[in-house]
Amino acid sequence: GIQVEQSPPDLILQEGANSTLRCNFSDSVNNLQWFHQNPWGQLINLFYIPSGTKQNGRLSATTVATERYSLLYISSSQTTDSGVYFCAVTAGNNRKLIWGLGTSLAVNP
Amino acid sequence: ETGVTQSPTHLIKTRGQQVTLRCSSQSGHNTVSWYQQALGQGPQFIFQYYREEENGRGNFPPRFSGLQFPNYSSELNVNALELDDSALYLCASSLAGTAYGYTFGSGTRLTVV
């Protein structure tokens, strides 16, 4: 089945720094979402982005479907950005989300 | 527009007991999926319900079962609880046939002792 790999696994930033998180997937996908999971477990949908580029405030994402990767950009990071960032995809007729292992981000004041 | 709500938020059960978790889907969504997330791991797909029928299942034993009701809400039932069932259980709703993604609830944290 399709494999989803995220990098880096862990990231520590100083408040105000920028970062790029990467998601590679091994086959064509028809859905790709980026989620932020806060320390209380809530998964927040950041982007639905099977292809192209989207921006939402300090966050933006780009998916290059032909090259099977997606990038999540965080600019001017804040302590509230801390948590785990997951990339999840669906492929073919299967609607189950297949997840990467996540990037654990800590933003220090 | 209401989001996905799950209940209870926390639960402690004894090994061998049975548990029922509940999920109300986001307004306008007709599909519900359940995921299990162990500590430090990504969520694992349990099953999905559409039109009150199971519409895909992950690698979970039959003691994990579910229901979807006419109002699209859903239940996850786990029988004969084991210690390894301790996890965060997440419910996600979506609208079948559309190009939109999934919306997740806050989860139920189940501890089996």
pLDDT of B100 strictly over 80 = no
B66 touches A at CB < 8 Å: no
- Substitution target in A48, A96, A99, A103 with the highest count of B β-carbons within 10 Å is A96
> Rounded to whole angstroms, how far apart are CA atoms A45 and A65?
20
**CB within 8 Å of chain A, chain B residues 12-31:** 31
Contact (CB<8Å) B42/A86: yes
For residue B31, what is the nearest residue in chain A, using CA coordinates?
A95
Backbone φ and ψ for B17, nearest 5 degrees, come out as -75, 175
Backbone φ and ψ for B83, nearest 5 degrees, come out as -60, -35
For residue B42, what is the nearest residue in chain A, using CA coordinates?
A101
Which residues in chain B have their CB less than 8 angstroms from residue A100's CB?
Answer: 42
B107 touches A at CB < 8 Å: yes
pLDDT of B98 strictly over 90 = no
Contact (CB<8Å) A41/B48: no
Q: Residue A20: count other Cβ atoms within 10 Å of its Cβ.
A: 13
pLDDT of residue B97: 67
pLDDT of B1 strictly over 60 = no
pLDDT tens, position by position, A63-76? 999 999 999 999 99
B43 touches A at CB < 8 Å: yes
For residue A32, what is the nearest residue in chain B, using CA coordinates?
B101
pLDDT of residue B46: 96
Contact (CB<8Å) A96/B33: yes
Greater confidence (B98 vs B43) lies with B43
pLDDT of residue A90: 87
Residue with tokens 């699209």: B72
Residue A65 three-state SS: helix
B102 touches A at CB < 8 Å: yes
pLDDT of B104 strictly over 80 = yes
Q: Which residues pair with A64 in a beta bridge?
A: A69
Residue B68: name the closest of B77, B59, B60 by CA. B77
Greater confidence (A102 vs B100) lies with A102
Contact B4, B28 (CB under 8 A): no
Contact (CB<8Å) A95/B56: yes
